[in-house]
Each structure stands twice: as C-alpha cells, then as structure tokens.
Chain A
C-alpha cells in the first residue's frame, strides 16, 4: 500500500508546507515558516535558531527554551525524520533533475558512475559491500587497482565499520554555527540557511507579485540557495548543521528504527545475494547489516525507501524494536512474538 506512496508523500508534504506558509503569508494568519511554525503562542522554533539567538543575544528566551525541549524530544523519538518528510531542501534539489546532465540518467549512468570510481578509497569499499548486486553488474569494467582495493576489503567488514567517522564535517559546521553566533552576536548561520532561503524566496516572489517589490535580493537569495544545495549537492550529508544536531541526538533514539526480519530476508530464506535495501538507502546505511553501512543508523531519516524496495518484505519500521526477530535465521514462528 505504502509502497509507491512513501516516495510521493515525501515530495507532497514539503510542497504542502510551502503552500501552507504561502497561503498563511497572504492571509496574515501567522502560521510562520518552518523556522518558527505554530499558531498564536505555541510556536516551534528551529532548534538552531533558538540556540543561535540565545547565544547571540546572551539571553534566555522562554519560547526558545521550550521549543528546544520539544525539538529534542521529537528527535529522540523520530530521529532525523524531518530530513525525509518535511525539509524543503530535497525538494529544491529536484531542480537538478530539470537541468540534470542526460548522461547520468537511468541505470547506465549508474554503472558508469561506479566504473568511473576507479581510484579506490574507503567509501568505494563501503558502497561495494553495500551494493554487491551492482558490483557484479559492473564487474567487467573494474580496473586492476579497483580489484585490488576490493580484495583489501575482503579482510572483513569490521574494518570498514571502524573506519566510520565519529564526527564529520557537519559537526564542525554545527560547532561553527553556535560559536559564530556567540562571538559575533548575531545568528550568522541563519543568514545562509537554505531552509530559511527557500522560504525567503517564496516570500520575495509573493511580494513581487502582490506589491511589485523589486529588489536585488530576488536574485541573490535564490542564487545562494541554488549554489548551496543544487550546485553543492552534498549539502545535507556534508554541511547541514541541523542534520548534525539531529544525528547527535539520534544516538539515543530507540524508536521507529528500520528493522529486518532476518527470516524473511531473501539472503536467508533463499540463500541469494540481495542488498537492495542498502542500495536504496540515500543515507548510505545498510539496514540488513547495519555494521557494514558507511553510516550508522542514527542517520536514518525514516524515508522508508529500504522498506519499499525489499523483495522479501523483511523490513519494517516498528515503534519499538522487536528483539527476537534479530536472531539470525530464526524461523518465522508465530509464538516468537507472543513469547515476549
């Protein structure tokens, strides 16, 4: 049921948010943008905006503190689900599809991309493990060097897991965001936040058409936005401090995590290679073998791509993890569930 809908919903919801904000703006309803969404006195602030302004103004702002608390609770429960379901940035990144280079369209493009990655490297390995099916297809095109790097990896997947970074560039930016707000006395990052810029663009366009308000910002704001997230495609995984904030808090997240019913996974039930879930995951997670993915489960945005792609219907996103299903090769007994 949800199969095709999840991907569609992930486009529709952010679009809807943009529409609601625009309508709210035209009608002066005071719904606010994603930076501070809410009605009347109940406003949920962006956690970075809340932290940044408090640091900059050296002031405890009640509304900001309350929002921060709510945001933390939401992240603990849902992880960075915001990224997949609400954030407008992936929507903006779809622009790339419009101007996309044709040679990268379709499956051929994918093979080319993989074959081109001949210089080897840690993440190449990670991708190779994560997507064995693709490697088999692209096998003939591998250079000697790449084969060597593949062999090197055969030493074991724990090696890859231990190579995972504890912190990445996003966390630096998060630190820089908070530090710069405190030092310079204004929320520096908010100036260039692509979420803010998306809404600013919407608003500037509305103002252009409703009041004929012409300004250079009408060019500068969208261009900055496009440079940030469309030209620099890896905004989300490399730079976004909000994603860094969520990934840190998600380390304690235990609920709504993708879980594999190993008995149903065709790697067990049919003894064939699969790995489709790891291939589908845009966050470079391997839901089937979490220890093998390039990134850990705390980055999971609950996008459901893995759930939808699984040929064995082995994946689900339960509210709470079901421990017994983790047993490798456990037969799908009815009383397994009842036993706990």
Chain B
C-alpha cells in the first residue's frame, strides 16, 4: 500500500518536472498571469482537434447493422447511444451484443445482435412482450414508435444460403422451419426450407438453431450459418449477402 502511495507522489513530481521543462511556457506566464497557460492551451486545442477528427467518422459510411427493437432509426441510435451497455446487459436471452470495430469505428460498442445461441422474442417469455432493452436504454437510443409490434417492426430479414444449407445438400434438415415463431418459413415440395420474406421480421430464431456449421459435413467455404439475419437495407439492396 505504501509503495503505491509513494509511487503516486513520484508521478506528481515527474509531472511537475515535465511541466517545468518548457522555459517558454514559463516566460509566457511571467509576462502576466493569463487565465490559461500556453501548455494548457496547446494540450486543450490538441485534444479538441482529436475530438474533431473522431467526429469526422460520422461521415465515413459504415455497413448497416441488425439492431434490437427500437433501434431501427439508425441516425437516432448513432446520435443517442452513448455505449452504456445497459441494453446488452439486460437482455434476458443474451442476444444483444456490442458491434465490433469490424462493423465500423463509429458503430463500435453500439447494440447489435448475436443470434448464435438464442433469438429475440421481444421478451415474450420474461416480460410478456415488453422489450426490456428498450426500457433499459436511458437515452432513448432504442425507442419504439407507438403501436409497434413484433410483426410490424422489422429488425432484419433471414437469408438462406442454399450452398451451405444441409437440406439443399440432401441431408434432411428443417430445424429453422420448425423454429420460426412467425410462420415466415415454408417447405418446398422436396422438404427444403425457404424464407417467406413478407412475414419474416428478423427475430433470429432460425439462425439460432441452424446446425449447418455443427453437422459432420460442413459445406466447403462456409464461414457462417446457412441461414443468417441481414439488415433490411442489405437485403433490399438486392446484393447477395454471401457475395
């Protein structure tokens, strides 16, 4: 304990020493006590410049993300989310995850989904359908418009990759079809599941149960599950999500 105390004092004296190294700053001061020393001014302006540079990130486009309920207005999330982590902490199903730096520096640590183990049921099971994440967000970054329901709030869309799906490789599988709570999946004549886009709200149930990466015969080159939830604009943009 004492050691650390001494150390702290040391830091201060080192601190002092560094301050004293700038004879010009001293001159500046002795000319007349201004409200701010030159060193403070330089450090302060430097800090503001760094903040300005970081602020410029606003204009760097980042890929869209699947957001928890109430996070569908992307500008609102970016403006109001201060990365307090309350939403991901409170989610009873543990499906909210911090966005990674790979999703863009600006988006880093804002809430997105991780459907690897579970899906978003709008807190049906634990809260009777009142999303806890929305309730927990103190800055209204997550806020649902009046009359929002799981059916009319589109978090994203499920996209099925037929190259990687077991059913399309003639290994019988329909876990995703069975899991979908919104009847947004159908089976074709040969029993292969497909997504009914109009009905899918991106809840993630299908992704959370997909076994394509667990099965013995993983498709060559498969980097993620055969069915994944994509942000709405990524799907509507018409690009192949697996491109």
Of the listed stretches B22-30, B154-162, B200-208, B216-224, chain A binds B22-30
Report yes or no: A49 in contact with B54, Cβ–Cβ below 8 A: no
Number of chain A residues whose Cβ lies closer than 8 Å to a Cβ of chain B: 100
Nearest residue, chain A, Cβ from B140? A61
- How far apart are the CA atoms of A24 and B5 in the complex, in Å? 31
7 further A-B contacts with Cβ under 8 Å, apart from A167-B35, A187-B81, A234-B15, are A28-B92, A172-B41, A173-B48, A177-B51, A187-B82, A196-B84, A239-B47
Interface string of A43-75 (1 = CB under 8 A from B): 101100110111011110101100100000000
Report yes or no: B83 in contact with A35, Cβ–Cβ below 8 A: yes
Nearest residue, chain A, Cβ from B22? A121
Question: Cβ of B21: which chain A residues have Cβ within 8 Å of it?
Answer: 119, 121
Nearest residue, chain A, Cβ from B26? A121
Which 6 residue pairs spanning A and B have beta carbons closest together?
A172-B44, A121-B20, A176-B48, A184-B55, A117-B17, A35-B84
Report yes or no: A45 in contact with B138, Cβ–Cβ below 8 A: yes
Interchain pairs with CB closer than 8 A, number: 266
Q: From residue A245, how far is it (CB to closest CB) to chain B in Å? A: 14
A: residues with CB less than 8 A from B are 4, 7-8, 24-25, 28-33, 35-36, 43, 45-46, 49-50, 52-54, 56-59, 61, 63-64, 67, 94, 96-97, 100, 104-107, 109-110, 113-114, 116-117, 119-124, 126-127, 162-173, 175-177, 179-180, 183-192, 196, 199-200, 203-204, 207, 211, 213, 215-217, 220, 233-234, 237-239, 279-280, 282, 284, 305
If A31-B89, A215-B101 touch, does A121 touch B19 (CB 8 Å cutoff)?
yes
- How far apart are the CA atoms of A179 and B49 in the complex, in Å? 12
- How far apart are the CA atoms of A233 and B12 in the complex, in Å? 10
- How far apart are the CA atoms of A210 and B1 in the complex, in Å? 34
Pull 25 A–B residue pairs with CB atoms less than 8 Å apart, ordered by A: A7-B5, A28-B90, A28-B94, A53-B82, A64-B138, A67-B138, A113-B13, A117-B16, A121-B19, A122-B19, A122-B25, A122-B26, A123-B16, A124-B19, A165-B40, A176-B44, A185-B78, A190-B82, A200-B98, A213-B97, A217-B98, A233-B11, A233-B15, A238-B40, A280-B5
Q: Identify which of A33, A97, A110, A168 contacts B84 (C-beta below 8 A).
A: A33
Report yes or no: A305 in contact with B55, Cβ–Cβ below 8 A: no
If A166-B35, A217-B101 touch, does A30 touch B47 (CB 8 Å cutoff)?
no
Question: Cβ of B109: which chain A residues have Cβ within 8 Å of it?
Answer: 196, 200, 217
Report yes or no: A36 in contact with B86, Cβ–Cβ below 8 A: yes
- How far apart are the CA atoms of A167 and B44 in the complex, in Å? 10
Q: From residue B87, how far is it (CB to closest CB) to chain A in Å? A: 9
Report yes or no: A117 in contact with B9, Cβ–Cβ below 8 A: no
B: residues with CB less than 8 A from A are 1, 3-17, 19-23, 25-26, 29, 33, 35-37, 39-41, 43-45, 47-48, 51-52, 54-58, 75-76, 78-86, 88-92, 94, 97-98, 100-102, 105-106, 108-109, 114, 116-117, 132, 136, 138-141
- How far apart are the CA atoms of A117 and B18 in the complex, in Å? 8
- How far apart are the CA atoms of A105 and B94 in the complex, in Å? 45
If A32-B85, A199-B85 touch, does A183 touch B116 (CB 8 Å cutoff)?
no
Question: Cβ of B36: which chain A residues have Cβ within 8 Å of it?
Answer: 165-168
